[in-house]
Structure 1
Amino acid sequence: MNRTRIFAAALMATSMLTTPTAHATGASTTTFMCVTDSMDGGKTTAVAPEAAASLKQRTRSYEGPCAAFGPAQDLGNGNLRSYTQTNQDGTPYAVGVTFTRDALAGLPTDMNDRHHCYDVNGDGRMDQDTECVGGYEHPLALPLATGTAAPGLSSQWVLTNYNPKGHGMAGIYDVPHFDFHFYLKPKSVRDAIRTGPCGLVINCDDYATATKEIPAPYMPAGYMDHKEAAEGAMGNHLMDTDDSPEWHGQPFTHTFMYGGWDGDLLFEEPMITRAWFTGLAAGTNANGCFPVNQPAAWKNAGFYPRQYCITYEQGRDDFTVSLRDFFSAPGA
């Protein structure tokens, strides 16, 4: 049976099992999905679990409301795109990045793309390994103009970085991995963070701004400011030294960081190794969602995520990294 006939059969089965307004009742449950066999379009439909599993395996359907996607950018031998999903009531369901499995092949092997460098030792040349930062970066606008992105969504844009040799901290994060920075402030704020001789190749005045103390109510639980992780063209990095396994003798696989700038939170950041994605596609790692530690209060009102999710979908042959389970924070 060809792919089109499989999709039609699965969609017919879905229509017989559920209706778009179905919800959990008693022992029976339904899942909302975007039923589609293309990278765009589709119909948000409530489906039974057995139909959902079949659709995800055999078509390009996926969980949650149908998404709006940003334009594709090249990554390795494939591509990546940002996306947003919005509930019927206008609240955010997910914001994330999706990239094709072939994007894991053909990736660069040098330390970085040399976009952000500074002659720290003054010898007249830029050492790619020690005087440049940022890996290979892909700024991604969110599809906010489509009308499908929720008002008040905390994320304003996404900066995806691939680090072929990892980065500091030495012995922890120095393995090939991706950083997904969901910035809470406009791109102009990040673009103004200069390179220089302090911290991780950051301008010394900007280092002072990046490491300015975040008031206790707004500091995420369990996170520490290590100061030396302030980086040019990026901001400071706050690390979960309480709960992250890589800080307790385990190898780094995936973790969640926050960014700091001028006494406020700057970004939310899942960091995930290339090996973890490879394991997802091979079936040796499982799709999953993981908790995001929260501050006691949010300085700025908006919708903030309580989970980050990492998935591989067989039918789409792609990966997603998303922020989900949003709640509305009133702000200070």
Structure 2
Amino acid sequence: MKTGAVLASGVLATGTVGASVKQEDHEVHEGESVDVGDGTVTAYATTNSAEELSSLGVHVDDDALASVDVDESKPHDSVAAHLSFPDAVDTLQFTFVGFHFNPVGHPPPDIYTVPHFDFHFYMMAEDAVEGIPLGVAAYDVPDKQHPSGFVFEDSRLIEPEMGEHLLDGTAPEFNDGEFTHTYVYGAYDSSIDPENPSGVEELELGGETREVPVFEGDGEGRIHFVEPMVTTEFFASLDEEMSVDVTTPETFFTEGRYPTEYVLKPDRSDGVHISIDGFEEFPGPS
């Protein structure tokens, strides 16, 4: 979800992920890295013995985690960066990953307003994502492409250079629990013309009332990213690998293989991994 300015510039990875994420009969392929504080964040993919994609992930090393360790006496800026996946791997519909650190969280208030990381795995070209405007969504997502239990935010806000967020209404943080890690879907209608809104709506943004354009597009949006979110506190306490099954739509915007789980894993030598896994075949629209 929404963060601040980009603070890190991309450089090619040079062996920072390595065998720590490798599973039996799976190969690790490193993508792009960015410097975060004194550390490094790296995108990667794994493939199985049939050379099929088995996971897409991000490795955050210990120095990067320490760089964003939240200390009230030392305020931190938000960090946002786009990371490319390895060129040698067919990443299916996935195009790049957006890495974000949010030192004070983001809305909804008292739910996600704690320090945490967001990992956006996009299924749309990077330049198209960067062209997404601030707005209010007035399109629909087809029922079979809308994951059960996931709900639009009340304002249906389209975050610029990101999209709309569908939140898991069954997650602990919405049912008298607290947010430690969760999964979010993103939606957008790529036919939207940012120069031609269908109207305006008044919203409270950043403590002030603003007129925000309403976008209808051709009336039909689609899921265009999946997003694990993890608090800094939970990452700090992670001592063993855990996988979390996710609710999926019946269909996606095009047939293909899509993730059915996300995995959080401490690196036995340096940092943590988060990945989308369990790729299975899904149909496209009938």
- Give the TM-score band, short-chain normalised: 0.7 to 0.9
Instruction: Return the alpha-carbon distance in structure 1 between the equivalents of residues 51 and 181 of structure 2.
Output: 30
1:106 aligns with 2:67: yes
TM-score, with normalisation over the residues of structure 1? 0.66
Computing the radius of gyration from Cα coordinates, the structure with the larger value is: 1
1:261 aligns with one of 182, 185, 188: 188
1:92 aligns with 2:46: no
Instruction: Return the alpha-carbon distance in structure 1 between the equivalents of residues 103 and 21 of structure 2.
Output: 31
Aligned residue type for 2:187:
G
Instruction: Return the alpha-carbon distance in structure 2 between the equivalents of residues 40 and 163 of structure 1.
Output: 23
Deviation of 1:88 after TM superposition, in Å, equals: 2.3
Instruction: Return the alpha-carbon distance in structure 1 between the equivalents of residues 22 and 253 of structure 2.
Output: 34
Deviation of 1:330 after TM superposition, in Å, equals: 3.2
Change (3 A) 1:40 1:233: closer
Aligned residue type for 2:249:
P
Change (3 A) 1:313 1:251: same
| 1:35-184 equivalence runs, <5 A | 39=16, 60=20, 62-64=22-24, 65-107=26-68, 112=77, 135-143=78-86, 145-146=87-88, 149-150=89-90, 153-184=92-123
Cα shift readout 1:129-173 (whole Å, capped 9, x = no counterpart): xxxxxx420100111x22xx236x232110011000000000000
Instruction: Return the alpha-carbon distance in structure 1 between the equivalents of residues 121 and 174 of structure 2.
Output: 23
Aligned residue type for 2:63:
D
1:327 aligns with 2:283: no
TM-score, with normalisation over the residues of structure 2? 0.76
Match of 2:254 in 1: 300
Deviation of 1:276 after TM superposition, in Å, equals: 0.7
Is the deviation greater in 226-235 or in 254-263?
226-235
Higher helix proportion (structure 1 or 2)? 1
Deviation of 1:102 after TM superposition, in Å, equals: 1.7
Instruction: Return the alpha-carbon distance in structure 2 between the equivalents of residues 61 and 288 of structure 1.
Output: 13
Deviation of 1:62 after TM superposition, in Å, equals: 3.0
Higher strand proportion (structure 1 or 2)? 2
Instruction: Return the alpha-carbon distance in structure 2 between the equivalents of residues 328 and 61 of structure 1.
Output: 24
> Residues 21 and 273 of structure 2 are in contact (CA less than 8 Å); yes or no, is this contact kept in structure 1?
no
Deviation of 1:301 after TM superposition, in Å, equals: 1.9
Change (3 A) 1:61 1:160: closer
| 1:260-279 equivalence runs, <5 A | 260-262=187-189, 263-279=221-237
> Residues 86 and 150 of structure 1 are in contact (CA less than 8 Å); yes or no, is this contact kept in structure 2?
no
Query: Structure 2 unaligned runs (5+)?
Result: 1-14, 190-220
Q: Percent identity?
A: 31
1:246 is paired with a residue whose SS is: helix
1:217 aligns with 2:144: yes
Instruction: Return the alpha-carbon distance in structure 1 between the equivalents of residues 174 and 275 of structure 2.
Output: 23
2:237 is paired with a residue whose SS is: helix
Instruction: Return the alpha-carbon distance in structure 2 between the equivalents of residues 175 and 309 of structure 1.
Output: 21
Aligned residue type for 1:101:
D
Aligned residues: 234
Aligned residue type for 1:94:
S
Instruction: Return the alpha-carbon distance in structure 2 between the equivalents of residues 165 and 305 of structure 1.
Output: 29
Change (3 A) 1:41 1:272: closer
Query: Structure 1 unaligned runs (5+)?
Result: 1-37, 43-59, 113-134, 195-201
Deviation of 1:39 after TM superposition, in Å, equals: 4.0
Cα shift readout 1:235-276 (whole Å, capped 9, x = no counterpart): 1000010x2111111111000000010110110000000001
